[in-house]
Structure 1
């Protein structure tokens, strides 16, 4: 970008500025700015203005010191630059446009700089890879070429792109050390690996560009498809002997009484007998093979308050809480129970987000059925809330059809009231008892 104003150039006086900013010159400055930014900020070439109105013709005649009478005018930028310097403006075209604002951008220089940065980026990537064990692995060259072709890095700031590709190469070289003298351990924790190659335990967190690049490399190295969901990504990490964090996310459960004689199954049964909720991590689900009697009806709710109330009431039914979203750990547990022959009864909020979450569960599991989630249930709860004097909560957001009841969405839209799960708590507890 150009300097705001040359050091020896005073600001334009008010009269000159008022003339230059009159509406009749607006199209001229726009066209001149576009041409200068393309020309490396040099006043070269010609611009053509068409369909001039009377105000534009008058303003251009005064500026150019020649009559402009027709509907079209051709203006040579070198002549305009000379005219501005010789007039009361007292400076060239580029300086005038800068004064009028915003600052000019040398687009040619910007393109050249971007091309130079891209060349430097891929040169650094190739040099970094040549210094690692990846240089002799054909899949690595394919990975680098695919990364170049997608453009995901070049859309980032140069410093970020350079750091990301370097860390991706270092991470892959750590996972696939070849026959070097310092082979990688048999297994890594993802946080441990991230700390070693990025300096941050969160450097390889799910959803980051770096994690996506590394996973693409792992997929090519293992001859696997690139995963499209969280469980697939976790499985791919494990194929490279990397264990993702499996203890920070949990699923809230209550009343699970699995068969089996290990201490884990025994502990769950004892907690169920004592009416205590249990938070299960992904790691526990991986090592604990939950097996309930086939045909067991497991209730699934959305809000932890339902679990709390069920425990306080000493309910005996099995209950799993999605805590507002069906995360990986929730789906992992439901998948295992469905595979073991369990059936699900689902209840959630009567709002559009709640319907969307219920749809996800219903579509995923053929053994899932609605649990007090019909149009009749909704109407009854709305009427009861009104009779109790409960202030209505407006229903907001885009409409969502319920896959299990075609009448539910129209009924909700007609009444316009959102109901959280707690509004049905008394009915739910009666079912759980």
Structure 2
């Protein structure tokens, strides 16, 4: 079996590693960065922790801080205008998944002919060209974007979250410092943590799984599953925070070299139409979608349950699978994940968009990777099941 693998050229991990950001740039021969971040990173002072080591090395970075929680085509276009107006040799995506995804999309669009819309690169197109390299510095333990060849951008005209994939979206380097996560609110900790668990689980059960991605996924699940409740209960648990950050990056490597599946395919339309945070929309769907795929992927789901520690090593597949679904439901309860109804989405609005969301989910290609590939009607049924009362 020939396995194609992609990963950043250089990854620096550990507490305080952001202090070596200037050294990372120097190793790569870079010195004129445009930092892509969001307004909170600026106002909170977190950005200063990345800029300080650059200034100390004589690097004055420019900052584009107009990113939004679900990156949009309009923000990407504004960022490209800033990028093209300056004399930059790299981008630094600093923050959660949104700034990192924005930086990736900016460099992809900047390499395209003038007038190109970012939707030209949505899957199944291959976004393999980039104008400048991207260095990612994540501040949450969730998206894994620092290690992946993907970015997700909202098409504002069509109300669609577009999956964009290719080598152009793969960061050149990543600096992964778990100390940024110490001050995260509980809600963000939970949502990003379940996002990373979903990445690992879907990569593991995907039809595009391979032995190397499996190793990443197993390691990620072993780190995330026992530590997610710990960081929810005690935000200052340094060992658990470090494990979650490492798990999130490993989960990113797993799905970047395998794929995500039905949960992500269904989650993106929920985020696009109802502005539910990505990790939360994954969590809303994860138990029902996992149960849907059990018969087709029983051995894989059962092994995942054992790796996560929710089933015994000698436990039979059927029992292990049942315990996995039970654990995912319990995790949502313990981490106070709302249903779509509990989030405040009106039933008529939800039901009225189900055919559109199902079509968009299928068009993304991710559902085709699921152990059990759904029809549009089955996706609609899963949306209804997940809605809640």
Which TM-score applies when normalising by structure 2?
Answer: 0.25
Q: Which has the larger radius of gyration?
A: 1
Higher relative contact order, structure no. (Cα contacts within 8 Å, ≥ 6 residues apart)? 2
Which protein has the bigger helix share? 2
